[in-house]
Amino acid sequence: MNTTLKTLVAVAATGSLLNAAELTGKISVKGTPPPAKPIPAVKADPNCGKSRTEDAMTRTWVVGAANGLANVVVYIKGGLEGKTFKVSEEKPLIDQTGCMYEPYVSAVQTGQTFQVRNSDAFMHNVNATPKINKGFNFAQANAGQVNEKTFDKAELGAKFACNVHPWMIAYVSVIENPFFAVSDKDGKFTIKGDLPDGKYTLAAFHQKGGEVTTEIEVKGGKATAALEIEAKQ
């Protein structure tokens, strides 16, 4: 093996080790949250109603199989103090489609570029009112328009709203490290990345239910966690 090839092999091996950690788990809801409610204004709107045969539903509490709770931001909250991480070049998308924000809940890293798109053939405006970061408000008049933004500071649940369609709401959390995920429809989550073995505090944040934490230990690149968030009216 020549020197160049040896170096390439060494780099490839290191790369795979660096991406070894995988944290998995489930977020459950404790108690009975209020059920989702229809939002009749969406179907009734002359523009928004065109693409819709059924009512849009509220997404405050989305509960799936075995009390699994969706739309929970799960992230490493403690154990990484003083460390800095490369910002992902991936650009998460917050889409406006059928007069709803998709996804309803998302997360980005501090300094990570994300995209906001209008997929509808009429105007929306994007009014972001974070409490710690700098807000913005711009119109997207046409289908396909994309604007790119970043937030510099950690913040949970920054609110996005469209003032043309008052039910259009989304929440974006900004996490200081790349180790985060949003729970799926059954409350499951997977966080992958270059996380060294060790002890960490894992947090789960729900827009209405608040935040809970647990201590985890990553061993051999693996850890699992189960957290419960209490239902609130």
CB of 218 to Cu ion, least distance (A): 42
Could you tell me the strand order of the sheet in which 93-97 lies? 100-102, 93-97, 114-118, 146-149
CB of 141 to Cu ion, least distance (A): 11
* Sites for Cu ion among residues 54-93 (CB under 5 A): none
Helix (H) or strand (E) holding 15: helix 3-18
Nearer to Cu ion, 124 or 149 (CB): 124
Of residues 161, 167, 170, 183, the one with CA closest to residue 38:
167
Residue of 164, 201, 208, 213 that binds Cu ion (CB under 5 A): 164
Q: Which stretch binds Cu ion (CB under 5 A): 23-31, 72-80, 163-171, 193-201?
A: 163-171
Cα distance between residue 190 and residue 19, in whole Å: 13
> What sign does the CA torsion over 34, 36, 42, 43 have?
negative
Nearer to Cu ion, 117 or 165 (CB): 165
Q: Which stretch binds Cu ion (CB under 5 A): 56-64, 65-73, 160-168, 193-201?
A: 160-168
Q: HSE on the CB side for 110, CA within 13 Å?
A: 14
CB of 96 to Cu ion, least distance (A): 6
Q: What is the largest CA-CA distance in the chain?
A: 69
Binding mask 119-138 for Cu ion (x = CB under 5 A): -----x--------------
CB of 145 to Cu ion, least distance (A): 12
DSSP state of 186: T
* Sites for Cu ion among residues 168-187 (CB under 5 A): 168
DSSP state of 134: -
Nearer to Cu ion, 92 or 98 (CB): 98
Phi, psi of 228 (to 5 degrees): -120, 135
Q: Which stretch binds Cu ion (CB under 5 A): 20-28, 74-82, 116-124, 170-178?
A: 116-124
Q: Tell me: does residue 162 bind Cu ion (CB under 5 A).
A: yes
Nearer to Cu ion, 116 or 202 (CB): 116
Cα distance between residue 14 and residue 209, in whole Å: 40
Q: Tell me: does residue 158 bind Cu ion (CB under 5 A).
A: no
Which residues lie closer than 8 Å to 103 by C-beta, 6 or more apart? Answer: 71, 94, 170, 182
Q: Tell me: does residue 165 bind Cu ion (CB under 5 A).
A: yes
Query: CA dihedral defined by 61, 66, 71, 73, rounded to 10 degrees?
Result: 130
* Sites for Cu ion among residues 37-56 (CB under 5 A): none
Nearer to Cu ion, 64 or 98 (CB): 98
Site for Cu ion, rule CB under 5 A: 124, 162, 164-165, 168
